[in-house]
Amino acid sequence: MGKIEDAQEILKTLGLPPAQQNDISALTLLALCGLRPKDPWRKTRREGLTITKGIMTFIATEYGRSYAPNTRETFRRQVLHQFVQARIADYNPFKPTLPTNSPRAHYALTRAALAAIQTYGTNKWKKSAQQFINEQGSLLMLYQKKRFRLMVPVRLPDGTILKLSPGKHNEIQAAVIEKFAPRFIPGARLLYLGDTAKKGLQLDTGGLAELNVIVTEHDKLPDVILHDTKRNWLFLIEVVTSHGPMTPKRVRELEVMFRDCKSPLIFVSAFPDFTEFSNHLKEIAWETEVWLVDMPDHMIHFNGDKFLTPQ
C-alpha cells in the first residue's frame, strides 16, 4: 500500500470513525508525522504545525494535493478537532497560552500516538495500537456510545421497546405510536415502522400479507402503518418535519401500492406542531387526516368521512 492507504489503516486501527479515515485525514496525519512518501514510519516525529502554512503546505509540497485556502476550516473542524478528541494530536502543545485566534496556533502528535505510529509495519504495531486504545480510548466507541444515549425510545403496542436513531423525524414517529395510536386506534397492530437510519426497522410482512399487501424492497412505504383490527381500517401515516405530508400525488402512489388491500385506507399526516402544519397547508390532499404532536387529543379532518360523528 502507499503512504495514504497506510495512514488510513493507522487511523482505523487507532479507533477513528469512518469520517476521519478519508484522504484528507490520512494526509493530515502524514503531515503531523512529518513523513514524505518514501520515509519509513519509524521516522515519524513530533513537531508543531499550523494548519495553512504547516499542514496544508506540507501536503501540497510532498503529496501534490493542493487544497483551496477556504478549506482551512474543513481541516480544523472535520479532521483536527477529532484528532484532538481521539488523542492523536495535541492543540498548542508547545505554547499552551496562545489565544484561540492566534496565527501561531498549532497541532502536534501526542506522545502516545507518536510511540504507537513509529511501530507501524513492524511486529510491535498490533500491540502498540491496542495499548494506545486501552490508554487513550477509541473515539469511534465514544461516538457510538454517545449516539446510543441520544437514540429515541419507542414503546410498541405489545410493550416492546425499540431504539430509533436520534432526530426530530423519529421523535414524531415515537409520538405516533405512543400518543396517536392509543387515542384514536387503541389496540392497533403495528405492521410497519421505519427509521431515518434503517428502512423497515419493524416490518410485519405476515400481517401485511393477511391484508393482501405484498411488500418489496423497492416499495416506498409510509413512515408508519397501523391496522385497526376492530374496524378493519389500515392507517398509512407520513411523519412530516420539512417535507412529506399526504399530498394528492403521495395519496395516489399509496392507493396504487395498496390497491389489493382488503382494508379501507386512512391517510394521515403527522406534524410536530401547528407551525409546521401551516407550512404545508396547501399541499395536503382532501380526504386525509392531520394529527399534531403538541395537540394529541385532536384530529384535523380534510373532509375525511372515516371520523365524522354527530356534533
> Mind listing the pLDDT tens digit for each residue in 212-268?
998 876 568 899 999 999 999 999 999 998 678 999 999 999 999 999 999 999 999
Identify the CA nearest to 211 among candidates 191, 182, 193.
Answer: 191
The model's confidence at residue 309, banded by pLDDT at 50, 70 and 90, is very low
Model's pTM, two decimal places? 0.52
> Mind listing the pLDDT tens digit for each residue in 183-221?
999 988 999 988 765 565 788 888 999 999 988 765 688
- Cell representation of residue 184: 384514536
- Give me the pLDDT at residue 267, please: 94
- Cell representation of residue 51: 494548519
Q: How many CA atoms lie within 13 A of 231 on its CB side?
A: 15
CATH topology of domain 3-146: Arc Repressor Mutant, subunit A (1.10.10)
151-302 has the same fold as 3-146: no
* Spatial separation of the C-alpha atoms in residues 235 and 67, rounded to whole Å: 52
- Cell representation of residue 48: 508543531
* H-state helical runs in the chain: 3-13, 23-33, 57-63, 72-75, 81-85, 111-117, 125-136, 139-150, 168-175, 181-184, 205-210, 248-257, 274-279
Domain locations along the chain: 3-146, 151-302
Poorest-confidence range of 29-38, 54-63, 235-244? 235-244
Q: Which amino acid is at 81?
A: H
CATH topology of domain 151-302: Trna Endonuclease; Chain: A, domain 1 (3.40.1350)
Q: What average pLDDT does the structure give for the chain?
A: 86
* Spatial separation of the C-alpha atoms in residues 55 and 242, rounded to whole Å: 39
Give me the phi and psi of 291, to 5 degrees please: -130, 140
- Give me the pLDDT at residue 310, please: 43
